Structure 1
Amino acid sequence: MTRRLSSLAAAGLVACIAAAGIASQAFAQSAIEELGAETIDRDQPVALIADEVTYDTNTGRVTARGNVEVYYGDRTLTADEIVYDSRADRIEATGNIVLRDPAGATVYADLADLDAKLRDGLVRGARSVLGERAKLSAVEARRFEERYNALSKAVYSPCDVCEEDPTPLWRIRARKIIHDEEEKTIHYEHATLDVFGVPVAWVPYFQHPDPTVERASGFLVPSFQQSGNYGFGTKIPYYVVIDDRSDMTLTPFFTTEEGVIGEFEYRRVFGTGSFIFSGSVTRTDYTGESSFQGNVDTRGRFDADWLDEGARWGWDISTASDDAYLRRFDFSDNDILTSTVFVRNYWNDGFYDLTGLYFQSLRDNDPAGQIPRVLPEFEARREYADPYLGGEVGFFTATETLFRNNGRDVTRFSLGADWEREEILPVGLALRGFAELRGDVFIVEDDPTRGDFTSARFAPYAGIEARYPLIWEESDGDAAHVIEPIAQFVVAPTGGNGSKYPNEDSQQVEFDETNLFEVSRFSGYDGFEEGTRATFGMRYERVISEGVRVDGTLGRIFRFEDADEFGVGTGLSGMTSDWVGAWSVSLAPYLTVRQRMRVDGDFDINRNEVFADFEYGRVSLSAGYAFLEADPSTGSPSDREEVNALAGLQLTPEWRLSGFLQRDLIADAFVETGGAITFQNECCAVDLFVRRRFTDSDDAPASTSVGVQVRLLTIGTDQTLRRRDPLPRFTSPNLRNSEFAQMGGE
């Protein structure tokens, strides 16, 4: 006897049908009893939806046809037709089969034979999607023990394919692939890696985490490089998950000429912060004798609520065994390593910062004994509303102690207060009054010329500043022009500099449009800008929501007496300073051009920096030019002039060319050049680059490096292939100022 159910919704699977529509509740209950209600998991919601459902009481088989949807808890099955055999407690499905499990995996198939709970069974023509990207396909797939999916003659790949080209860019073919859903790993037996359909590697067995795993131990993608210093090199990183809060990466760096370099990185997260400890070590003889060489980099950040609410403490420490190690093995081009340990806190009306500093010079012939160690450097400030004069009054203190193995030791203690108030008059004129009282005490030991001595300095100043912004709009109202004349007048005493007031933290002086209207152009407390002076300047800006944006600044300082505390190369010495100016033109997002200049009274250029960024379609270009006049007082005995450029061309959505250069125009020689070609699509990225460093130093001669790195999505890398530039960003070691130089280094 066959009963036909015609209903849009009929609930009942795993020995249960409850039909709605034509079927009555009584009939539904009868059907449940006939199918063996004793096998139903009452706690598991079960449902069947189909265009047509029939039940054969003789065979105990339920047949559903047309847009069939089966739900068992959080598992689902859709198909053109299913047959449920209540006696065998199994389901047969055919036509456009889709299986979804709670972990998010989706299986497509042509034929399926499953148990009634949709957990175990056999699937033919299986195609599975794991997570968002990874895809598995097999001639046959079998599920068992409610955790293993065994695929025969299977293929794994995250690459997209189309009907015109069904071969993925890369894939792994295997005699058998087993997906362990409990351990979240994919195992391969007799696996072959294909690239563009061509076999390139074979292994009898390997495994990797499935794409749903964020962290798992295992090998990461290796990289390959070559250099004239160490020959051919290969890095094979191994990632270790220690626990939920820590992990480690161990990377043997195999080279043909320098042996093996061991790299390591350990990371740990705590409830109050985190830290990273990394570095490398090797035994080498490039220094003339066989010895261990290496480097350490570590940084940490932690809450310091035990000291003060909102406070943080931490460290940034970098050190290397010798001057050449980092450059020789392409770890870094830095010529100064700075290490700090700090405790600090910032809030709306104040802050404090306690820091210790250590500098390691990697430059040839630097006098190591004269490089200072700073311990401690402390600065604190607190601001209050002024109940008498209006505005704000601030109190501050700062201290700094420098130690040297071979040279003078200096301690400076500063204490002071400042005041500031700004008013805008009805005519639009903005007036700002300001003043500061500061006292400094210097304690010097082992000075090469004066021995031990102590000195004190009173360093007050007061001033007023006026700004009068003039604004008008263009006739169409799309843009506005702002011209702002600025005048500043400062009164300060003289005699606050000299040999009895050692200058350790303010040797490098930058004078440009950014500090034209600052009260002091010194970067620290040791220097004091003395004498009465007036600063005049003007700022302009074209304000527009879209289109061409223009801005510019021009100004100069006039003094009542010579400013001999500044070197001749700073542009601040004498009765009048250099003219400083800057302008920029921007047509977002295509073009930006910026220039900064410093010109003396005879209109000789003492500083000139030009930068341009251009991007249109597939082309991007960044270029820069810099010229700085010699300033022997700050350790720059000759002019410095460089150009640099970084360019990229997107050949196709997948292929990109890029290159860079840096050239010293004074020496008429390149500093560094390089180029790269990158391929990247939705499932892999390949970076091939070449780089030539022309600078030469002890034990790290000029060299050429070539490298290649392959990143395969879901295998040995993160789950999103972020586009990145394999070339190093431009830096200018000849032009940049360092903290070491500001602390008295030469």
Structure 2
Amino acid sequence: MQRSGRLQALRDRLLAGAALAVLAPAGMVAAQTQPLTQPAGADGLSPEAVYVEADVASRQGDVITATGVDGERSLVRARGYTLRGENLSYDLAQGAATAEGRVETVAPDGTVVYASRAEFGNDFTTGVAVDFATRTANGASLMAATAVRRDAQHNELNYAIFTPCPICDANGPKTPSIAIQAEKVVQDAELRAILYRNAVFRIGGVPVFYTPFFAHPDPTVDRASGFLIPVLDYDEGRGFSIETPYLHVVSPSEDWLISPQFNTEVAPFLNLQWRRRFANGMVVVRGGYTYERNFGDFDLDGDGDYESNVSFDDRESRSYLLSHGAFDLQGPWRAGFTLERTSDKTLFDRYDVSDPYQDNGLYYGDRRRLITQAYAERQTQRSYFSIAAFALQSLRLDPRFADTDFRDASGFQVFEDEDTLPVVAPLIDFRWEPYAPVFGGRLRLEASAVSLTRERFVGAPILSPELLPLVSDDLPGVDTRRITGEAEWRRVILTAGGLRWEPFVDVRGDAYAISDLPPMMNVSDDETVTRGRASAGLDLAYPLIRRTAAADIILEPMAQLSASTTTELDPRIPNEDSQTLELDETSLFRLDRFPGYDLLEGGVRLTAGGRATIRWAEDRRASLFVGRSYRSNAENNFLAAAPDAPDQSYDPTGLAAKRSDWVVQGDFSPSDRIRGWGHATISDDGDIRRAQAAVDGRWGLRNVASLSYIVDRSNPVPGPLNRNYEFVQLAAQQLVYGNWGVAGAAIADLNRDEITRSEVGLLFDDDCFRFEIGVRRDNTRVRPSGPSEGLYVRLNLATFGGSDYRRGEIR
């Protein structure tokens, strides 16, 4: 039967469907017209029903045949499976099907199989396919000359190829970057693995490796036990090294990562990680161990040249522990901990431990400081409470020698002493707001308490008098306990013209108990200090917008006027939490602009600023903010003594004078491929005191570049203890020929005119395979030796995982 035209083809399909209904046995018709004895599947068909869509369909006994016309394919749906092909047949009694001609089978789980011919039996649980091909959800492809499905758990493929890479692009078929060709492949659903016999690995179609047996997890598996991609490296101290991580999956909620590092010049280093997820939380424990001497390059004779790979002392145990846990308890409570310790200040650097400084827990350490803490917190819509205790381990250089190459008698850099850092136990924060408005506005009550204990005395900048030593072994550490209570009321009033008025009132009180103050301050050892402040003020904002054919222009002028009681900053109160201040668009309009409680502002202040934004497309915009603050009287207590000239002072905050620094902040996105931002504080003289800026760009398919700059010139007094800095960082990759290109990154210290870290290498990068090899150099002063040079190798494979990308991170 031949037909032509879309309407005629549709009419034929309808007639074929009607014919099947007529030819079906009485039981089948009854199953479709009476209530089902078994539930319908996701496609609406009962287990006994069959759906056919074809140009020509017929039935002989229990066998239904469907044929397409003019190359059209037919469709049969049964038992949750969908079968397409030019010629189809389905046996109602046996549950068997045969298909040929551009065959496509869709399983109930969504898996799609392609073939030139296929035969299925036992309700699709067994089958044979010729010219087999399938694609997984993550894009991996598996192809074979023939495929045999022996049961629901096992598939066998003969003369097969597996690739995680795309096999087609805009120009048609292409050779995949990576492929595994094998004589036989078995896909075992019980093992959740793919097993290969006589496997050949091909890169760009070229055979590079052969193995008689190979296995990897099924692409549908989130994680499975087995070896991960090894990490190759070369360092002057360790020599050539290879790290071979092995993942052991204990259960869906628990696994181990065993990752030994083997080195040619020093003893192996064993890294371990254990992860366990519970019903209400999770725990991660990382650790490492070796038994080795300290090693590195040192200038032992002082001639300016570093002797190569010197070993010190006897062998001893060296290790680290990095762990954290978080738990969601009953109701609004949650709790957690971190435990971070290392035996050596430079262990992470010398053994290239990946990503040791992480942000876990309620409070964070920072770069080169580890934190051990325990905490609990409770949060509702109207309240927040937290209690914590923590201690720090510093891996930083001693601040007295951080900007020099000062070393002890053994040639080692001198590091910061943990005894100069406080043990915080406890630290309590509380906030509460009533549900109902108070006098038409929002009332917030806050409280805070903290206790800090030190073993060793530290003077400026924690204690401000100029005559105090920076660090002293002859004096006990100063201990501090503080309690703070604060009440704030605010109300938002919007006028018909769009002006936003926000009056506020704030009352705050502090009480300090201070022990072991030094005798040169001419006070008793133990002191109790109280202080209070009352403030009232008004925030104003008047956003304006103008729409034009070319762009939207938004202007947002804003101002704050506040009056507070004058508060003298008592020199007996240590400054523990307000030593650094990021004066930006957000903090400029706060009543308390310092991040902590120890420094307090008072008097009459006026803060004014404005933001201008132009937006000419959905992803294209530019914005600029400018603002500053004025105060009735200068606040000399905000000044700090210069470390190199105690008789001279400077303003590290930008707030001490009657007029604060200018705050300039902006961002821009001229296209979806370029974006940037910048922030600066500028003095009245036009000098940049602090600034940060960054620009990211993308062009082509995979070409990227990032440029960032940071500077701090707040201390105008030169000297070895001056902590000003200026850095520029660049990272980029450029493809030169096809998927081949170059990549590099560097950090330059502009104050010292040196490159502190740098790397450059050759790369190959496509949709499923990235490979880098190059050289790196480390000039950071924290290393136990002089500059270090080495090789790096990074590899990332789609489906199989990757290695060494965090190691290449440059900060």
TM-score (normalised: structure 2): 0.76
Aligned residue for 1:20? 20
Structure 1 counterpart of 2:146, from 140, 144, 166: 140
User: What is the alpha-carbon distance in structure 2 between the residues aligned to residue 347 and residue 409 of structure 1?
Assistant: 33
The offset of 1:460, in angstroms, is: 0.9
Counterpart selection for 1:371 from 412, 417, 421: 421
In structure 1, the partner of 2:155 is: 149
C-alpha distance in 2 between matches for 1:207 and 1:414: 62
RMSD of aligned Cα (Å) = 4.0
Shift of 1:210: 1.7
Task: Compute the displacement of 1:291 (Å).
Answer: 2.0
Question: What amino acid is the match of 1:438?
Answer: R
Provide the residue aligned with 1:702 in structure 2: 787
SS at 1:250's partner residue?
strand
In structure 2, how many angstroms separate the alpha carbons of the residues matched to 1:44 and 1:206?
42
SS in 2 for 1:516: helix
Closer/same/farther in 2, CA of residues 271 and 106 from structure 1, 3 Å limit: same
Distance 2:806 2:347 in 1: 22
User: 5+ unaligned residues in a row in structure 1: which ranges?
Assistant: 1-5, 13-17, 30-41, 719-723, 732-746
| Matched ranges for 1:415-434 at <5 A | 415-423=485-493, 431-434=501-504
Query: Structure 1: which amino acid aligns with 2:421?
Result: I
Name the counterpart of 1:281. Answer: 289
Alignment equivalent of 1:473, drawn from 542, 546, 551: 546
Q: Over residues 104-124 of structure 1, what are the superposed CA-to-partner deviations in whole Å (9 max), with x where a residue is unaligned?
A: 444333444554644334444
- Per the alignment, residue 727 of structure 2 pairs with 642
SS of the equivalent of 1:326 reads: helix
Q: Report the alpha carbon displacement of residue 375 of structure 1 after superposing the two structures with TM.
A: 0.9
Residues 204-243 of structure 1 aligned to structure 2 (within 5 Å):
204-243=212-251
Q: Are 1:189 and 2:202 counterparts? A: no
The answer (yes or no) to whether the contact 2:744–2:760 under 8 Å persists in 1 is: yes
1:68 Cα deviation from its structure 2 partner: 5.0
Give the Cα separation in 2 of the matches to 1:122 and 1:529: 81
Which stretch has the larger CA shift, 502-511 or 605-614?
605-614
Rounded Cα–Cα distance in structure 1 between residues aligned with 2:686 and 2:416? 36
1:673-692 to 2 correspondence within 5 Å?
673-675=758-760, 677-688=762-773, 690-692=775-777
In structure 1, distance between residues paired with 2:154 and 2:497: 80
2:256 to 248, 253, 258: 248
2:681 equivalent in structure 1: 598
Amino acid at match of 1:409: D
The structure-2 alpha-carbon separation of the partners of 1:693 and 1:61, relative to structure 1 and needing over 3 Å to count, comes to same
How much does 1:727 deviate? 7.7
Determine if contact 1:571/1:598 at 8 Å carries over to the other structure: no
Q: Which residue of 2 aligns with 1:669?
A: 754
Q: Deviations over 1:63-93 (max 9, x none)?
A: 7644454544134444444678999997665
Distance apart, 1:243 and its partner CA: 1.5
Q: Is the 8 A contact 2:638 2:651 kept in 1?
A: no
Q: Which residue of 1 is the match for residue 309 of structure 2?
A: none
Matched, 1:410 2:480: yes
Aligned to 1:380: 430
Shift in alpha-carbon separation, 1:693–1:495, aligned structure 2, 3 A: same
Counterpart of 2:131?
A: 125
Q: SS at the partner of 1:447? A: coil
Aligned-partner residue type, residue 495 of structure 1: E
**2:516 paired with 1:516:** no
Alpha-carbon distance change, 9 to 397 in structure 1, aligned in 2, over 3 angstroms: same
Counterpart in the other structure of 1:464: 537
1:330 matched to 2:352? The reply is yes
Query: How far apart, CA to CA, are the structure 2 residues paired with 1:371 and 1:654?
Result: 50
Alpha-carbon separation, structure 2, partners of 1:477 and 1:270: 55
- The secondary structure found in structure 2 opposite 1:493 is coil
Which SS does the other structure have where 2:651 is aligned? helix
Question: 1:513 & 1:7 partners in 2: Cα distance?
Answer: 71
2:393 corresponds to: 360
CA contact (8 A) 1:10 1:50 kept: no
Aligned to 1:714: 799
**1:721 matched residue in structure 2:** none
How many Å separate the matches in 1 of 2:270 and 2:202?
31
Contact 1:468 1:486 in 2 (8 A): yes
Flag the 1:96–1:495 CA change in 2: closer, same or farther, 3 A.
closer
- Quote the offset at 1:378 in angstroms: 0.5
Is contact 1:176–1:188 with CA below 8 Å preserved after alignment?
yes
Distance 1:167 1:369 in 2: 61
- 1:298 aligned onto 2:368: no
Residue 452 of structure 1: SS of its match in structure 2? coil
> How far has the Cα of 1:594 moved from its partner?
4.2
1:554 alignment counterpart = 627
Cα contact 1:496–1:528 (8 A) shared by 2: yes
Instruction: Indicate whether 1:539 and 2:539 are aligned.
Output: no
Counterpart check, 1:576 vs 2:647: no
Contact kept? 2:696, 2:704, Cα under 8 Å? no
Contact 1:91/1:114, CA 8 A, preserved across alignment: yes
The CA deviation string for residues 321-371 of structure 1, in whole angstroms up to 9 with x for no partner, is 211011222235832223332212333433112121211110233122211
Please give the alpha-carbon distance, in whole angstroms, between the structure 1 residues aligned to 2:590 and 2:222: 50
Q: 2:714 aligns with which of 617, 629, 633?
A: 629
Residue 573 of structure 1 and its aligned partner are, at CA, apart by: 6.4
Q: How many Å apart are 1:10 and its aligned residue?
A: 11
Q: Tell me, what secondary structure is at the counterpart of 2:348? A: helix
Q: Quick one: distance in 1 between partners of 2:229 and 2:333?
A: 40
Q: What is residue 178 of structure 1 aligned with on the other side? A: 186
Unaligned stretches of 5+ residues in structure 2: 1-10, 30-45, 296-311, 358-366, 398-414, 457-476, 641-649
Deviation digits for residues 227-269 of structure 1, max 9, x if unmatched?
Answer: 2232222222222221122222222222222332222222222
The answer as to 2:342 corresponding to 1:320 is: yes
Q: Please report the TM-score for the alignment, with normalisation by the length of structure 1.
A: 0.82
Partner residue of 2:515? 445
Structure-2 residue corresponding to 1:38: none
Identify if the C-alpha distance between structure 1 residues 612 and 97 changes in structure 2 by more than 3 Å, giving closer, same or farther: closer
CA distance in 2, matches of 1:86, 1:551: 73
User: Residues 513-567 of structure 1: CA distance to partner in whole angstroms, max 9, x if unpaired?
Assistant: 443332233221222224x232343313135353553322122433335432432
Provide Cα deviations, 1:263-288, integer angstroms capped at 9, x if missing partner. 22222222222232223222221263
Decide whether aligned partners of structure 1 residues 436 and 700 sit closer, same or farther in structure 2, where only a CA change above 3 A counts: farther
Please give the secondary structure, in 2, of the residue aligned with 1:482: strand
Structure 1 residues 700 and 246: alpha-carbon distance in aligned structure 2, compared to 1, 3 A threshold: farther
Alpha-carbon distance between aligned partners in 2 of 1:61 and 1:482, rounded to the nearest angstrom: 75
Q: Is the 8 A contact 1:566 1:573 kept in 2?
A: no
**How many Å separate the matches in 1 of 2:670 and 2:494?**
33
Distance 1:615 1:357 in 2: 42
Inter-partner Cα distance in structure 2 for 1:475 and 1:582? 27
| Conserved? CA contact 1:479–1:545, under 8 Å | yes
Pair 486,46 (structure 1): closer, same or farther in 2 beyond 3 Å: closer
Distance in 1, matches of 2:551 and 2:565, equals 45
Counterpart residue number, 2:35: none
Cα distance in 2, alignment partners of residues 386 and 212 from structure 1:
52
Residue equivalent to 1:96 = 102
CA spacing shift, 1:488–1:613, aligned 2, 3 Å: farther
- The aligned counterpart of 1:741 is none
Measure the CA separation in 2 of the matches of 1:151 and 1:438: 76
CA change 1:553–1:294 in 2 (3 A) is: same
> What is the DSSP-based 3-state SS (H/G/I as helix, E as strand, rest coil) of the residue aligned with 1:394?
strand
